[in-house]
Amino acid sequence: MSVVKRYTDAEFNAMDNATLIRTLDAFPKKPEFQDWVPPKVKVRYFVSKYGKDIGNSIKGTGLFFSAVVAQKILESGFGKDELAIKHNNFGGVKAVKGYPTVTLDTLEKVGGKLVKKKEAFAKYPTPKAAFDDYVRIITTNPRYAKSITAKSPEEQILEMVKAGYSTLSPNEYIRLVKGNLDRVRDMYQVGRIAK
Distance between CA 84 and CA 97 in Å, rounded? 19
- Please give the model's pTM, rounded to 2 decimal places: 0.91
**In tens digits, what is the pLDDT along the chain, a chain of 195 residues?**
556 889 999 999 999 999 999 999 998 877 889 889 999 999 999 999 999 999 999 999 999 999 999 999 999 999 999 899 999 999 888 887 788 888 888 777 777 788 888 888 999 999 999 999 999 999 999 999 999 999 999 999 999 999 999 888 999 999 999 999 999 999 999 988 888
Element (DSSP H or E) covering residue 56: helix 39-58
Q: Are 149 and 158 in contact (CB under 8 A)?
A: no
